[in-house]
């Protein structure tokens, strides 16, 4: 019996067993729950009254877009992008600032922050995989605008921008949307990435992530690249068909994106998610940006976007040990994704 | 808008948002995929040839049980418990010992170890929630026997004993069974528990877990106790209706259980899982033992059993930050479970 590979993440103290002999074909993952569209969609145009007032709306204008927010009970119509507070927020703004409380074995703090929904399009089904790239550039613009605004709050230390697609991946409303949660501390996974990349930088005088890009570029894990972005399956992928999107130029956060970068990223997103849909029959997924936190010198950090197709279940072993099992070697995933993205590119 | 509680685990650097205003009633969790029994069950009596030879079989005998293993192609029939190697192991025994390899940004090791299935009963459906306690005592006995045997291998440093129940929780075969995976290093979550409890012990001269038991005993998170065991919902539960089972006497590992302890634990398992089934319509779950590793002085550690009903999905936020969101406050979960376990106790 061949012994499986145990691989460690580039940055995190996280191990995964690449259980190659349990390898399945992409088609094995095809079964999924199809969403039924039930009742009225609160994110569709005309239903703006069903959500809180927009903190940001992109409206069409002769010079591109006009940026507004809803005020005094008035809700903008005919929007291109709409950002609203989540009606059931995990994190909510403070009435007053409160510090962490320590009480014996019970440590608690208050979940102060913001939890928002970015409605990506007036078209219910304009998901990343089928979206117009011009619309996706607006979506990225909205991420950056919200980041700018939320970083002005003193209780915001990190902003997590993430997408859940498909019910199995935790999506509760099927209208194309992204979520954003601000956190009053640096989340554990980010903290570990920051620590490792800081140490690497101090030791070697270069960015650890730039080093990864250089190494993975010509590896069997590379999927796609152009002058500005690179897509690859990470060495120690914990999810089947996991892939990461990186800017090639060293940038610490989305805040550094130029207008051209945004349009470029929009195209990469469209290609990758189109390819993913093609390959795996429109699978559910989670995806999230990893960006430098608001404060501190984070020159050593390099923002990126991680995509986790939801094709497996984390069970008792994963949850109790923190060791993961992935039945699709990243090299095999990359081979399939490379071909799918190339096909998608040919059709665009 | 009330601000949610952010709580930190007793031992781990792990935070959870207790999103109380997203509270749902137990019945909201009722929908689940029912398993269809397809084809022939390889774990049912008569189908022993469909699995590898047993590394351990409990056979009925006049003095209780007789312990055997399958040898020379002969497979024992009429067993009470049967332990077999997993046909698709994540970890497999080595052909030769190999050390961790370090190569630039790519760190790898070989996944050497054992991956076994403990078939809990000849009766396909004898799950923890409905099992005879005498049978459950055999199951616990088999865990301990396998632990003893596997701890003799020099490449085994930890043994993870876990159960996945229900397809949503990663179960692939519906016959009542537990899995066991040996790991050639101390898993991250265990390591963190060991570090924290070692530090607590050195500082305060007592067991951190004994301290937790003392504190939670009279808290709104307590669920059930007798002279030997205590069941409670942990302060920073990351899963809705999560509960933990602890021996009250300080024991570091299952290896310290007496015959009476085993019978006692069997009864606690039956009660708790019976109560869980009653309360939440037989929900899927993951459950696992946390025990002291093989080597070192681990007097400060205290074994326990953690149960995670699978009622929510970890999505983009959880996976990219390591911060969790739990919509059922552990105090509410404990109240519901307390009543359900009491009802179950009345029916036994």
Domain ranges of chain B: 5-31+41-91+108-347
DSSP string, B275-326: HHHHHHTS--EEEEEE---SSS--TT---EEEEEE--S---HHHHHHS-EEE
**Count of H-run helices and E-run strands, chain A:** 6, 16
**From A310, which residue of chain B is nearest by alpha-carbon distance?**
B315
Order of strands, sheet of A115-119, starting from the edge strand that comes earlier in the sequence: A64-68, A56-61, A81-85, A115-119, A177-183, A158-165, A285-290, A304-309, A243-247, A229-232, A222-225
Architecture label for domain B5-31+41-91+108-347: 2-Layer Sandwich (3.30)
Q: Which of B200, B122, B128 is nearest to B162 (CA)?
A: B128
Residues 172-201 of A with CB under 8 A from B: 179, 181, 183, 187-190
Nearest-angstrom CA–CA distance, B333 and B337 = 6
CATH number of A5-97+107-347: 3.30.428.10
Long-range CB contacts (within 8 A, 24+) of B220-227 = B220/B331, B220/B334, B220/B335, B221/B330, B221/B331, B221/B334, B222/B334, B222/B338, B223/B272, B223/B334, B223/B337, B223/B338, B223/B341, B224/B268, B224/B271, B224/B272, B224/B338, B224/B341, B224/B342, B226/B264, B226/B268
How many CB atoms within 10 Å of residue A86? 17
Residues of B in contact with A169 (CB under 8 A): 313, 315-316
Q: Is the pLDDT of residue A33 over 90?
A: no
pLDDT band at B24 (very low <50, low <70, confident <90, very high): low
List, in sequence order, every residue forming a beta bridge with A115; answer none if it has no partner. Answer: A181
* Contact (CB, 8 A) for B320 and A288: yes
Q: What is the pLDDT of residues A55-110, one digit of tens each?
A: 999 999 988 899 999 998 899 999 999 999 998 889 988 875 555 565 678 999 99
- Average pLDDT of the residues in A127-146: 98
**From B326, which residue of chain A is nearest by alpha-carbon distance?**
A90
Residues 25-54 of B with CB under 8 A from A: none
How high is the pLDDT of residue A297?
79
Chain B within 8 Å of A21 (Cβ-Cβ)? yes
pLDDT band at B101 (very low <50, low <70, confident <90, very high): low
Torsion sign (Cα): B255, B259, B264, B265:
positive
List, in sequence order, every residue forming a beta bridge with B68; answer none if it has no partner. Answer: B57
Please state, rounded to an integer, the average pLDDT across all residues of chain B: 92
Could you say which of B109, B162, B316 has the minimum Cβ distance to residue A287? B316
User: Which one of B316, B321, B325 would you mutate to disrupt binding with A, by most A Cβ within 10 Å of its Cβ?
Assistant: B316
Could you say which of A112, A163, A317 has the minimum Cβ distance to residue B181? A317
How high is the pLDDT of residue B94?
82
How far from B117 is each of A205, A215, B185, B224, CA to CA, in Å?
Answer: 49, 40, 21, 30
The shortest C-alpha distance from B48 to chain A (Å) reads 21
Nearest 5°: the CA angle A71, A74, A79 is 95
- Average pLDDT of the residues in A6-14: 91
- What is the model's pTM? 0.93
pLDDT band at B305 (very low <50, low <70, confident <90, very high): very high
Residues of A in contact with B169 (CB under 8 A): 313, 315-316
What one-character DSSP code corresponds to residue A35? P
CB within 8 Å of B119: residues ≥ 6 apart:
B43, B81, B82, B83, B84, B175, B176, B177
| A92 with B1: Cβ contact below 8 A | yes
Phi, psi of B30 (to 5 degrees): -70, -30
How many CB atoms within 10 Å of residue A261? 18
Nearest-angstrom CA–CA distance, B9 and B197 = 13
Model ipTM value: 0.91
What one-character DSSP code corresponds to residue B253? S
| A235 with B105: Cβ contact below 8 A | yes
Chain A within 8 Å of B78 (Cβ-Cβ)? no
Helix (H, G, I), strand (E, B) or coil at B105: coil
How high is the pLDDT of residue A172?
86
pLDDT band at B320 (very low <50, low <70, confident <90, very high): very high
pLDDT band at B296 (very low <50, low <70, confident <90, very high): confident
- The end-to-end CA distance of chain B, in Å, is 45
Q: Are strands B324-326 and B15-18 parallel, antiparallel or unpaired?
A: parallel
Torsion sign (Cα): B168, B171, B177, B178:
negative
Q: Which of B103-117, B181-195, B255-269, B276-290 has the lowest mean pLDDT?
A: B103-117
Residues 142-171 of A with CB under 8 A from B: 158, 160, 162-164, 168-171
Q: What is the pLDDT of residues A276-299, one digit of tens each?
A: 999 999 999 999 999 999 887 789
How high is the pLDDT of residue A100?
55
């Amino acid at each position: 019996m061949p012994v499986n590979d145990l691989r460690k993440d580039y940055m995190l103290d996280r191990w995964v067993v690449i259980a190659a002999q349990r390898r399945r074909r992409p088609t094995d993952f095809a079964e999924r729950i199809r969403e039924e569209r039930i009742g009225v969609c609160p994110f569709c145009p005309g239903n703006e009254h069903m959500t809180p007032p927009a903190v940001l709306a992109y409206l069409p204008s002769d010079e591109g877009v006009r940026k507004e927010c809803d005020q005094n009970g008035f809700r903008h119509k005919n929007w291109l992008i709409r950002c609203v507070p989540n009606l059931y927020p995990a994190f909510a703004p403070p009435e007053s600032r409160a510090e962490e409380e320590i009480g014996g074995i019970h440590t608690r703090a208050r979940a102060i922050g913001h939890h928002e929904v970015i409605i990506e399009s007036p078209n219910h089904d304009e998901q990343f995989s089928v979206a117009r790239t011009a619309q996706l550039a607006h979506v990225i613009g909205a991420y950056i605008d919200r980041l700018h605004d939320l970083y002005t709050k003193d209780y915001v230390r990190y902003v997590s921008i993430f997408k859940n697609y498909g019910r199995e991946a935790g999506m509760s409303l099927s209208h194309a949307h992204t979520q954003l949660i601000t956190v009053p501390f640096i989340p554990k996974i980010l903290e570990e990435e920051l620590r490792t990349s800081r140490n690497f930088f101090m030791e070697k005088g270069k960015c650890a992530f730039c080093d990864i890009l250089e190494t993975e570029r010509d590896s069997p894990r590379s999927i796609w690249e152009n002058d500005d972005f690179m897509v690859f399956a990470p060495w120690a992928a914990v999810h089947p068909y996991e892939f990461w999107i990186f800017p090639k130029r060293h940038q610490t956060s989305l805040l550094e994106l130029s207008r051209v970068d945004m349009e470029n990223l929009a195209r990469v997103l469209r290609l990758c998610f189109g390819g993913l849909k093609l390959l795996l029959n429109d699978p559910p997924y989670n995806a999230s940006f990893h960006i430098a936190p608001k404060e501190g010198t984070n020159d050593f950090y390099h923002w990126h976007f991680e995509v986790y197709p939801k094709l497996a279940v984390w069970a008792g072993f994963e949850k109790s040990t923190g060791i993961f099992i992935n039945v699709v070697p990243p090299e095999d995933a990359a081979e399939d994704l490379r071909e799918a993205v190339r096909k998608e590119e040919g059709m665009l």
